[in-house]
């Protein structure tokens, strides 16, 4: 069974409470339950969320050392500011798909650039939670898992 990790960055623990007009009313727990329901029988899922850049970098390194099969990331605002997260992803050599719940290109201009995207094989933006599902389907196909 393939292992896919789903990492969420700053403020994503506030889903359902923070700016529901942008991010919707569902919570991070709702997302995890949805992903487990759809993919839990075909992949081992590992979830991690932190509001701390260093904790996310440490987790990326530990996932690389564990040789997980793929990574879905939503680094929140760190997407636009963190060279350190980008470097961690580049050094991990893991197939990674970056996901954004909102369409970053319809938001403030500073959100239009992703520093982490060059370390990823794909980017999905603006599809809500469906973006995570699409990223999972893609990574599972890439790893040869039977879905």
* Annotated active-site residue in 23, 52, 112, 132: 23
- The total number of structural domains that make up the chain: 1
CATH number at residue 74: 3.40.50.9100
Q: Which domain holds residue 22?
A: 2-143
Active site residue 23: yes
Mean pLDDT of 73-93: 96
CA–CA separation, 66 and 64 (whole Å):
5
**Of residues 139, 131, 138, the one with CA closest to residue 26:** 131
**Of residues 53, 46, 51, the one with CA closest to residue 72:** 46
Active site residue 80: no
* Annotated active-site residue in 52, 80, 93, 100: 100
List, for residues 89-124, the tens digit of each pLDDT value. 999 999 999 999 988 877 778 777 899 999 999 999
What confidence score (pLDDT) does residue 145 get?
A: 74
List, for residues 5-20, the tens digit of each pLDDT value. 999 999 999 988 877 7
- The chain-wide mean pLDDT, for the chain, equals 93
Which two structure tokens, joined as six digits, stand for 91? 């050094």
CA–CA separation, 6 and 14 (whole Å):
16
């Amino acid at each position: 069974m393939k292992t896919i990790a789903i990492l969420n960055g700053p403020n994503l623990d506030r889903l359902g409470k923070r700016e529901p007009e942008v991010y919707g009313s569902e919570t991070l727990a709702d997302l995890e339950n949805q992903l487990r329901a759809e993919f839990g029988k075909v992949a081992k899922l590992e979830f991690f969320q932190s509001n701390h850049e260093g904790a996310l970098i440490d987790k990326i390194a530990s996932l690389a050392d564990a040789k997980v099969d793929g990574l879905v990331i939503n680094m929140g605002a760190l997407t636009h500011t963190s060279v350190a997260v980008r470097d961690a992803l580049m050094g991990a050599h893991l197939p990674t798909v970056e996901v954004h719940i909102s369409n970053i290109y319809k938001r403030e201009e500073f959100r239009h650039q992703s520093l982490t995207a060059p370390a990823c094989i794909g980017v999905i933006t603006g599809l809500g939670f469906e973006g995570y599902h699409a990223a999972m389907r893609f990574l599972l196909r890439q790893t040869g898992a039977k879905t």
